[in-house]
Structure 1
Amino acid sequence: MIILGEVNTLEILRETDHGIYLIDNEDNEVLLPNRYVPQSFKIWDKLDVFVYLDNEERPVATTDMPYVKRGDFALLRCNQVTDYGAFLDWGLVKELFCPFKEQAFKMKPGGWYLVHCYLDEKTDRLVASSKTNRFLDNSELTVKAFDEVDLIVSHPSDIGMNVIVNKMHSGLIYKDNIFKDLSIGDKLKGVIKKVRLGNKLDVALGQIGYRNIEPNANRVLQELQDNSGFLNLTDKSSPEAIKDILQMSKKNFKKAVGTLYKQRQIEIRTDGIYLLET
C-alpha cells in the first residue's frame, strides 16, 4: 500500500501530460508531477518517492526528501503564522502545518522548533506538533543499561538536558555528564547509564565506565595528531581546560591517558603530553 508521510518504492505505470503515475503492489496509484520526473525512465522502473497531500488534499509523490518524515522528530523553521496555525519549512513545496493546539509555545515566523510529524487521523493530513513529550512513552522500555542509543536533544531543565531516546522514550543527561555544547534538535549517540524507578532513563554521551576508555583514548590520540604530537595538558590541568580541549571530564581524561601510557603511545612530561613515534 502507499503510505502517506513515508518513502515508498513504487513502479512507473504510465506517462501523462501532468507527470507519470506510479503504482504499488495493491494497484494503488499516485501522480509524480512533471517537475520530479527523471530525465530518462522506462515503464515498470522503480522509484523511491515521498508521498503526502498536495494543496487540494490529493495524494502526490515527490522525489524530494523532507527534513522530517512521519513518526520522526526534527528541528524546523517557522515560515509563517496564520489564523489557523503555523506553517513550517520541511523541505517540500507545501509547508508542514502545525495547529495552535499542537504548539507547546506560540510559534513565531523565523523561529526554530523541535516538532514531531504525525498523521492526523481526523483529516488524514500530515501535521506537526511541538508537544513532543506526548509522543514518548517510558511505560514499556525497549532499552536497558549500557545500550547504545540514538538521541535528539529536546529541552533543558534545571538539572540537565532532556533527550529523546530512539525516537520512543524520554531521557535525561545530567549537567555533570555534559562536556560539550548541546542545542535543541542536535542528534547524537549516547548510552543508557541507568534505569531509575518509574523507568526514568539516565543517559550519558559516548560510553561509560570501562567501555569509555578506548573511545576517550582515541580522542586524545586524535588531538595529539592534530597538534603536532603535543598537548598542553597534565593531571594538574583544570577540569575546565580539559573539557574545553577534549570535551571530556578530568576523570575520563586521566583514564584515557593512563591507557595510552601503558600502551607506550605517549610520554608524560611536566609541561604536557607527547605522542611517541612508532
Structure 2
Amino acid sequence: MATVGQINELEILKESDIGVYLDGDSLGQVFMPFRYVPPGKKAGDRVEVFIYFDSEDRIIATTDKPKAMVGDFACLKAVAVNQVGAFLDWGLPKDLLVPFSEQKQPMIEGQSYVVAIFYDKETNRIAASAKLNKYLDLQPGRYHNGLEVDLLICDHSDIGYNAVINNQHWGVLFDSEVYRPLKYGQKIKGYIKRIREDGKIDLCLQQPGYKKVTTLSDRVLEELQKQGGYLPLSDKSAPEAIYKKFGASKKAYKMAIGALYKNRQITIEKEGITLIKENG
C-alpha cells in the first residue's frame, strides 16, 4: 500500500505529455513529472518514489529524497516565516510548514529547529511540530543495556543532553558521560546505559561493560607499540588529554589500562604507562 510521506516502490501505469502516472493503490493514480523519472523507465516498470503534496496541495511523487520523512525527527532550518507559520527546508521544492500551533516559541527565519514530521489526514497535509512530546512514545521502550541506538541531540539541561532515541523515545546523556562537544540537532550513535525503574532512559556514548574495555585496551597496546613502549598518559592524566588521544573518557581509559595491568602487560607510573618487554 502506498504511504504519504514515505518512500514507496510503485509501478508506472502510463505516460502523459508532462510526466507519468504511478499506481498509488488506495491513493489512486499519482503523478510524477518527467524530470524525476529515471532514464529508461517506462510503463510496467517499478520506481522508488517519495509521495507528498505540491504547492497546490496535489498529491505528487518524486525520486528526490527529503531530509526527513513522516515519523522522523530532524533538525531543519527555517527559510521563511509568514502569517501561516514557519517554513522549513526539508530538501524538496515545497517547504515544510510548522503551524503556529505546533511551535514552542515563535520561529525565526535562518535558525534551525528540531521537529517531528507528521501527516495530518484530516487536512491532507504533511507538516512539522516543535512540540516533540506529542509525537514521541512516552511508554517504556524495548531496549536493553548496551544496545547501540541512533540519537538526535535536542537540548541541554542542568544534568546533560536530552536526545531522541531511534525516532521514538526520550533519553538523557549526562554531562559526566560526554567528553566531546555536542551540537543541537546533531545525529550520533550512542548506547543504552540503563533503563530506570520509572522508565526513563540513561544514555552513553561508549559501549558499556567488557567490550568497551577490550576494544580500548587493544588500542592502547597498539599505540604503546607504535611509541616504542611508553605512553605519557596515566590514570592521573587530564580527561582532555585522554580524549584527544583515544576519544574515550578518563573512566574508560582507567578501566582499559587497569585490565592491561592485571594481565601484566603494562606498568602504570605517575606520568604514563610502559609496555612490559616480553609482551612487546
Superposition TM-score tier, normalisation by shorter sequence:
0.7 to 0.9
Report matched runs for 1:50-69 at 5 Å: 50-69=50-69
Instruction: Report the alpha carbon displacement of residue 232 of structure 1 after superposing the two structures with TM.
Output: 3.5
Question: Does structure 1 residue 202 correspond to structure 2 residue 181?
Answer: no
Report matched runs for 1:1-80 at 5 Å: 1-24=1-24, 28-80=28-80
Distance in 1 separating the partners of 2:36 and 2:213 = 49
Aligned to 1:186: 186
Aligned to 1:87: 87
State the one-letter code of the partner of 1:108: I
Aligned residues: 278
The structure-2 alpha-carbon separation of the partners of 1:219 and 1:120, relative to structure 1 and needing over 3 Å to count, comes to farther
Unaligned runs of 5+ in 1: none
Moved more, 59-68 or 172-181: 172-181
The structure-2 alpha-carbon separation of the partners of 1:228 and 1:137, relative to structure 1 and needing over 3 Å to count, comes to farther
Unaligned runs of 5+ in 2: none
- TM-score (normalizing by structure 2): 0.87
Instruction: Report the alpha carbon displacement of residue 145 of structure 1 after superposing the two structures with TM.
Output: 3.1
Instruction: Report the alpha carbon displacement of residue 98 of structure 1 after superposing the two structures with TM.
Output: 0.6
Distance in 1 separating the partners of 2:182 and 2:153 = 7
Q: Does the 8 Å contact 1:2/1:28 carry over to 2?
A: no
Q: Does the 8 Å contact 2:2/2:24 carry over to 1?
A: yes
Residues 56-102 of structure 1 show CA distances to partners (whole Å, capped at 9, x for unaligned) of 11110000000000000111111010111001000000100111111
Moved more, 223-232 or 251-260: 223-232
Over the residues paired in the alignment, what is the CA RMSD in angstroms?
Answer: 2.8
State the one-letter code of the partner of 1:172: V
Q: Does the 8 Å contact 1:213/1:255 carry over to 2?
A: yes
SS at structure 2 position matched to 1:48:
strand
The structure-2 alpha-carbon separation of the partners of 1:29 and 1:264, relative to structure 1 and needing over 3 Å to count, comes to farther
Instruction: Report the alpha carbon displacement of residue 11 of structure 1 after superposing the two structures with TM.
Output: 0.9
Identity among equivalent positions (%) equals 44
State the one-letter code of the partner of 1:131: K
Instruction: Report the alpha carbon displacement of residue 176 of structure 1 after superposing the two structures with TM.
Output: 0.6
Report matched runs for 1:140-179 at 5 Å: 140-179=140-179
Moved more, 228-237 or 116-125: 228-237
Distance in 2 separating the partners of 1:19 and 1:242 = 58
Q: Does the 8 Å contact 2:2/2:27 carry over to 1?
A: no
Moved more, 185-194 or 217-226: 217-226
Q: Does the 8 Å contact 2:153/2:185 carry over to 1?
A: yes
Distance in 1 separating the partners of 2:219 and 2:48 = 38
Distance in 2 separating the partners of 1:110 and 1:140 = 36
Q: Does the 8 Å contact 2:22/2:31 carry over to 1?
A: yes
The structure-2 alpha-carbon separation of the partners of 1:179 and 1:93, relative to structure 1 and needing over 3 Å to count, comes to same
Instruction: Report the alpha carbon displacement of residue 4 of structure 1 after superposing the two structures with TM.
Output: 0.8
Moved more, 197-206 or 157-166: 197-206
The structure-2 alpha-carbon separation of the partners of 1:17 and 1:199, relative to structure 1 and needing over 3 Å to count, comes to same
The structure-2 alpha-carbon separation of the partners of 1:127 and 1:26, relative to structure 1 and needing over 3 Å to count, comes to closer
Q: Does the 8 Å contact 1:189/1:206 carry over to 2?
A: no
Residues 235-256 of structure 1 show CA distances to partners (whole Å, capped at 9, x for unaligned) of 3312232134333222211222
Instruction: Report the alpha carbon displacement of residue 186 of structure 1 after superposing the two structures with TM.
Output: 1.8
Distance in 1 separating the partners of 2:226 and 2:99 = 49
State the one-letter code of the partner of 2:80: Q
Distance in 2 separating the partners of 1:2 and 1:258 = 55
Instruction: Report the alpha carbon displacement of residue 169 of structure 1 after superposing the two structures with TM.
Output: 1.1
Moved more, 205-214 or 227-236: 227-236
Aligned to 1:233: 233
SS at structure 2 position matched to 1:56:
coil
Distance in 1 separating the partners of 2:227 and 2:34 = 53
State the one-letter code of the partner of 1:17: D
Moved more, 257-266 or 156-165: 257-266
Instruction: Report the alpha carbon displacement of residue 265 of structure 1 after superposing the two structures with TM.
Output: 8.0
Aligned to 1:120: 120
- TM-score (normalizing by structure 1): 0.88
Distance in 2 separating the partners of 1:22 and 1:153 = 38
The structure-2 alpha-carbon separation of the partners of 1:9 and 1:159, relative to structure 1 and needing over 3 Å to count, comes to same
Distance in 1 separating the partners of 2:150 and 2:220 = 24
